[in-house]
Amino acid sequence: KQYVSRICCVGAGYVGGPTAAVIAYHNPDILVTVVDKNEERIRRWNSKHLPIYEPGLAEIVRIARDGSKGFRLPNEPAENDNADSRTPHGAYNRRNGPYSTEKHVHYRIPNLIFSDKVSESISAADIVLIAVNTPTKSRGVGAGSATDMTAFEAVTKEVARHAMPGAIIVEKSTVPCRTAEFIQKTVSWQLLSPKSLREEEPGQLMTSQMTNQRPGVYFEILSNPEFLSAGTAVKDLMHPDRILIGSSKTPSGLRAADTLARIYEAWVPRSRIIKTNVYSSELAKLVANSMLAQRISSINSISAICEKTGADVSEIAESIGCDPRIGDKFLKAGIGFGGSCFKKDILSLVYLAESLGLDEVGEYWRQVVKMNEYQRDRFSRRVIQRLNNTLAGKKITLLGYAFKANTSDTRESPAFEIIKTFLEEGPRQIAVYDPCCNPEVVKTEIKQLLKDRTALEEDGGPIAIHPNVYNACDHSDAILITTEFDEFRSTPAESNESHPSSQSSRLVDPRPFYDQPSPMDIFLLQKYLLSTAPAGRYPNDDPFKRYLPEPGCPSSCPDCSL
């Protein structure tokens, strides 16, 4: 049984940060360090304003990172706040969890650290989780579909140089099938038999991979893909429907899988921990995302038929969803999927199929991506059509910039592509508002993506990113709901005047629009929001904001003023 006292997670992004926080939260006797080469990101993880928004994340991070300073038991006096250092590290009581009220374990020791000291943290860890980004390659062989393994490979080399002999290396990132083999070659010094030496190409032993190895050092490689969804990351991590651990079938491989499984068993029922061979685990992640995306493209393709025939796609979804073989999840027609994962993972599957000579299989999956783009473009075209085929001199408002609700993740956001299409039409203004995204971050991103320094309103362009929903909608010719935030859906009756910033404050009732038979109309609300703005709130109080000041944050806080 391998004892684990330190875990290092490389990559403090949307997966690494929340995953490490939940592991630390449930394993208070293990020190979890999250490292990233991006110093600004680490600074934000160490501040009150985390670099990403996920419901419940701030609370979990605060408890694990700050110990008892991060929370207070009900009725606990404030003066206990600084007393956590008095409690020995092992004092955590598993029966009562981190909220133990037993006399001698009142305080929780911080066990989650965010740091930019990558190699130092790797060298101290019993388990190294690699959770760095693996985007689609943008140039070279396989550009547009193969996975760009630059960041992953760089970390693998760091691990090969610095990890403790016998440390367990875990692929958390989504990687192409057979990556474990590549890591194994990079990190482990294996004694090659004369036969296997003969099988190597001449000169291969001197590849850069070998220069990272240390004689006699061997690591086990596990695949443990992450299935969390943006917007519900904490819920998904706290109550996963499965934990997948792929390992080699050797005794030491199985032992390593057991060691990792024990970390999860702190809060996940054993029956939900599935152990497979390492390549099945790698491929299962790609297949899971591809199948989910395929469902969205399937229902979206049906919505196009509905619009021409008078059938109602939501009624169809409801009817077919009753069949347990189909199920009722992921059947909502809309403007197509976004996010950093679906598209890249399908394309990775396409590349894998094509590189194995399975062109028909590749083409089949590629069609899912094509249908997604078709649906999004169909929506933009429909909006332009409804506005008399011209946007010249008009103001269009997009409510929602994140790729889905309850997240600040904007990667591959359909809203951005829609903005790009509208720009061609020369509108007076494209106003954008998002309750979770920081306006300054959105501005920087749009400028970078458009490669246009004059696209934003302050630089003379038409795109205005509003921190306030009322200003965004003021005098708009069309208001489009581009992200399904609940805020854009509920009734004015629910509005709570006494707490202008509470999430129960509501602005409008767009339900009549949601009930339109066509999914395209769902997103088209004309000059409606502003007329129902509650008196006295416009223009300064915005009930929707979720990213801005923490209670008690000083006005000089650099992150509040972002």
Q: Which residues are part of a known binding site?
A: 36, 41, 134, 174, 285, 330-334, 338, 344, 404, 411
Q: How far is the CB of 147 from ligand NAD (least distance, A)?
A: 8
Size of the site for ligand NAD (CB under 6 A): 26
Residue 10 found at the interface with ligand NAD (CB under 6 A): yes
Stretch that binds ligand NAD, among 5-13, 312-320, 417-425, 546-554 (CB under 6 A): 5-13
Q: Does 13 bind ligand NAD (CB under 6 A)?
A: yes
Query: Cα 373 to the chain's mean position, in Å?
Result: 21
Q: Please enumerate, by residue number, every residue annotated as part of a binding site for NAD(+).
A: 36, 41, 134, 174, 344, 411
Q: How far is the CB of 160 from ligand NAD (least distance, A)?
A: 13
The nearer residue to ligand NAD, 242 or 386, going by C-beta atoms, is 242
**Is residue 14 involved in binding ligand NAD (CB under 6 A)?**
yes
Nearest residue (CB) to ligand NAD, 225 versus 462: 225
132 contributes a contact to ligand NAD by CB under 6 A: yes
- DSSP letter assigned to residue 451: T
Strand ranges, E, within 337-477: 395-399, 429-433, 463-465
State in angstroms the smallest separation of the CB of 265 from ligand NAD: 21
Q: Which is nearer to ligand NAD, 172 or 466 (CB)?
A: 172
**521/528 Cα distance (integer angstroms):** 14
Catalytic residue among 8, 306, 341, 473: 341
Interaction of residue 226 with ligand NAD, rule CB under 6 A: yes
Half-sphere exposure (Cβ direction) of 93: Cα atoms closer than 13 Å? 12
Select the residue whose beta carbon is closest to ligand NAD and give its number.
Answer: 13
Of the CA atoms within 13 Å of residue 310, those in its CB half-sphere come to 0
Q: Is 341 a catalytic residue?
A: yes
Q: Is 16 in the site for ligand NAD (CB under 6 A)?
A: yes
Nearer to ligand NAD, 341 or 464 (CB): 341
Note whether 173 binds ligand NAD by CB under 6 A: yes
CA distance 530 to 412: 29
Nearer to ligand NAD, 173 or 410 (CB): 173
Separation of alpha carbons 71 and 66, rounded Å: 8
Q: Which residues participate in the annotated binding site for substrate? A: 285, 330-334, 338, 404
* Contact of 342 with 350, CB cutoff 8 Å: no
Report residue 180 as tokens.
Answer: 């474990």
Identity of the residue, 26 or 343, whose beta carbon is nearer to ligand NAD in the bound complex: 343
d(CA 197, CA 190): 11
Among positions 278-337, residues that touch ligand NAD (CB under 6 A) are none
Q: How far is CA 43 from CA 34, 46, 559, in A?
A: 12, 5, 10
Cα distance between residue 106 and residue 264, in whole Å: 24
Torsion 273-277-282-284 (CA) sign: negative
HEC string of 25-43? HHCCCCEEEEECCCHHHHH
Residue 249 zone, left/alpha/beta (φ > 0; ψ -120 to 50; rest): alpha
**Of 16 and 427, which has the nearer Cβ to ligand NAD?**
16
Residue holding tokens 């006005």?
555
Give the nearest distance from C-beta 15 to ligand NAD in angstroms.
4
- Tokens describing residue 236: 């998904």
31-35 and 6-10 beta bridge pairing: parallel
DSSP 254-272: HHHHHHHHHHHTTTS-GGG
According to CB under 6 A, which one of 22, 30, 57, 131 is a site residue for ligand NAD?
A: 131
In the bound complex, what is the minimum distance in angstroms from residue 175's beta carbon to ligand NAD?
7
One of 29, 37, 252, 528 touching ligand NAD (CB under 6 A): 37
Nearest distance, CB of residue 291 and ligand NAD, angstroms: 15
15 binds ligand NAD (CB under 6 A): yes
Do 264 and 339 form a contact (C-beta atoms < 8 A)?
no
Binding flag, residue 413, ligand NAD (CB under 6 A): no
In the region spanning residues 147 to 166, those forming contacts with ligand NAD, defined by CB under 6 A, are: 151, 154-155
Among 228, 292, 442, 480, binds ligand NAD (CB under 6 A): 228
Near ligand NAD by CB under 6 A: residue from 25, 30, 34, 41:
41
User: How is residue 456 annotated by DSSP?
Assistant: B
Is residue 341 close enough to count as binding ligand NAD by CB under 6 A?
A: yes
Would you say 513 or 547 has its CB closer to ligand NAD? Answer: 547
Residue 230 binds to ligand NAD (criterion: CB under 6 A): yes
**Order of strands, edge to edge, in the sheet holding 395-399?**
463-465, 429-433, 395-399, 478-481, 524-525
Site for ligand NAD in 446-485 (CB under 6 A): none
Check: CB of residue 178 under 8 Å from CB of residue 279: yes
Q: Tell me if 443 sits within 8 A of 456, measured CB to CB.
A: yes
Helix H or strand E segment including 127: strand 127-130
Catalytic machinery residues: 341
Residues that bind ligand NAD (CB under 6 A): 10-16, 36-38, 41, 118, 131-134, 151, 154-155, 173-174, 226, 228, 230, 340-341
